[in-house]
Amino acid sequence: MSATAYLERHGGGFRRMTQILVRVAIPSLLLAATGNQREVSVEAETLAGALRALVESYPLLEVHLFQADGSVRQHVHLFYNDQNTRWLESLDVALEPGDTITVLQAVSGG
Strand bridging mode 5-10 / 13-18: antiparallel
Confidence at residue 61, expressed as pLDDT on a 0 to 100 scale: 96
Q: In whole angstroms, give the CA distance from residue 82 to residue 84.
A: 7
How confident is the model at residue 73, as a pLDDT?
92
Question: Tell me, what's the pLDDT at 18?
Answer: 82
Interacting residues of 54 by C-beta distance below 8 A, sequence separation 6+: 24, 40, 42, 61, 101
pLDDT per residue of the chain (110 residues) written in tens, 0 to 9 = 223 333 343 344 444 468 999 999 999 999 999 999 999 999 999 999 999 999 999 999 999 999 999 889 999 999 999 999 999 999 999 999 999 999 998 876 65
Residue positions counted in the chain: 110
- Domains located in the chain, CATH noted: 19-105 (3.10.20.30)
Q: What is the pLDDT of residue 17?
A: 63
State the pLDDT at residue 110: 58
